Amino acid sequence: MTVRRFRLSERCFASLLILPVFLAISLVVLFPLAYSLWMSFADVNLLRATGPALELLGLRIPLFRYVGLQNYLRLLSDPLYWDSFGRTAYFVGAFVLETTVVGLGMALVLHERFVGRPVMRSLLLIPWSLSRVVVGLLWVGLLDVEFGALNGFLYKAGLIDRYISFLKSGFSALNVLVSVYMWNQAPFATLLLLAGMQSIPIELYMAAEADGAGYWQRLRYVTLPALRGILFLVLVVSTVNGFLMLDLIYVLTMGGPGNETTTISWLGFQTAFQFFKFGPGTAILYTLTVFCLLLTVLYQKVMFRKLEAEEA
């Protein structure tokens, strides 16, 4: 009797459990996402809510004047957008590379046997758990041209005779942003990779050793192939995070000097919230959203393939 009731209302019960989250997601994600998309096709005037409006539950949601593709067309002919695009590509590429290499390097060292392993793993969580605002100002303390500890160290060691201004030139500032963000994010990649390494059967290593494989050969033929899935995950997640990075730019460079650390996400943020041009701003941010959608599709395809392979 109980078993029959279980079958009958299963879908209904499951739907009820999911309903609150879907209402919430629709309300705080899907609807705002659609509204932002609309704004990217509109001439948004924040002071005067002109044009038609959406009347919803007694609320008046302004729709402004529809201008078609105007915001996007202006954007595509704006050299600043393409410059930012190029910088974003560099930023994402360098960030993904650094995160993967440093994340994997730390994981390989931490996977060795040594005294104090749990402590080292805890340390991994420190950079990752900090607010990016704190991460930014903490690196100011290390890199500043007047009181930076790294400058102090180099000066003391006799390697420089004047403190370096790391954020003064655009290219150097961009690389500082990459590395600081990597400091914050690579530990999480390390955690994922360590979890992956722990699930590699020890027999594989024993077999490799019996065949006379040294450390690097074991890494090349046993460890890395087994970590393929997680490395892919790290690549996708760090690519998305690279595209979206905003808070560190705010704290460290504000997109400057000039526009030399202006990425697409910063350009969109600045256009929308410093110049209060919501139309062009949302258009810029939507080009970013499309990238994320594409990456999600890619990620899901690979994940599903992996899941099917596991089930087979």
**Residues in 194-253 that interact with other proteins by CB under 8 A:** 195-196, 229-230, 233, 237, 240, 243-244, 246-247, 250-251
Instruction: Candidates 90-98, 130-138, 164-172, 202-210: pick the segment binding other proteins (CB under 8 A).
Output: 130-138
Q: 21 vs 312, which CB is nearer to other proteins? A: 21
CA distance 251 to 136: 6
User: Which amino acid does the sequence have at 230?
Assistant: I
Q: Contact with other proteins (CB under 8 A): which of 4, 21, 159, 212? A: 21
Q: Contact with other proteins (CB under 8 A): which of 89, 97, 130, 226? A: 130
Helix (H) or strand (E) holding 68: none
Q: Is 62 in the site for other proteins (CB under 8 A)?
A: yes
Window 85 to 124, contacts with other proteins (CB under 8 A): 106, 109-110, 112, 114, 120-124
- The Cβ-side half-sphere exposure at 310, using a 13 Å CA radius, reads 7
Instruction: Candidates 79-87, 143-151, 216-224, 255-263: pick the segment binding other proteins (CB under 8 A).
Output: 143-151
Q: Contact with other proteins (CB under 8 A): which of 3, 47, 202, 309? A: 3
CA distance 272 to 280: 7
CA distance 254 to 219: 41
* Gap between the terminal Cα atoms of the chain: 34
User: Which amino acid does the sequence have at 4?
Assistant: R
CB of 61 to other proteins, least distance (A): 6
**Residue 43 dihedral angles phi and psi, to the nearest 5°:** -100, 95
Window 156 to 195, contacts with other proteins (CB under 8 A): 156, 183, 187-188, 191-192, 195
Helix (H) or strand (E) holding 280: helix 278-311
Q: Is 257 in the site for other proteins (CB under 8 A)?
A: no
Q: What are the beta bridge partners of residue 60? A: 55
Determine the 3-state secondary structure of 154 from DSSP: helix
Helix (H) or strand (E) holding 59: strand 59-62
Q: Contact with other proteins (CB under 8 A): which of 4, 68, 79, 126? A: 126
Task: Give the 3-state DSSP-derived string for 258-276, with helices as H, strands as E and coil as C.
Answer: CCCCCCHHHHHHHHHHCCC
Window 28 to 47, contacts with other proteins (CB under 8 A): 28-33, 35-36, 39, 44, 46
Q: 95 vs 286, which CB is nearer to other proteins? A: 286
Q: Contact with other proteins (CB under 8 A): which of 153, 168, 224, 228? A: 153
- Give the total of residues touching other proteins (CB under 8 A): 107
Q: What is the dihedral of CA 302, 304, 308, 309, to 10 degrees?
A: 20
CB of 152 to other proteins, least distance (A): 3
Q: 170 vs 242, which CB is nearer to other proteins? A: 242
**Residue 78 dihedral angles phi and psi, to the nearest 5°:** -95, 115
CB of 67 to other proteins, least distance (A): 16
Q: Is 298 in the site for other proteins (CB under 8 A)?
A: no
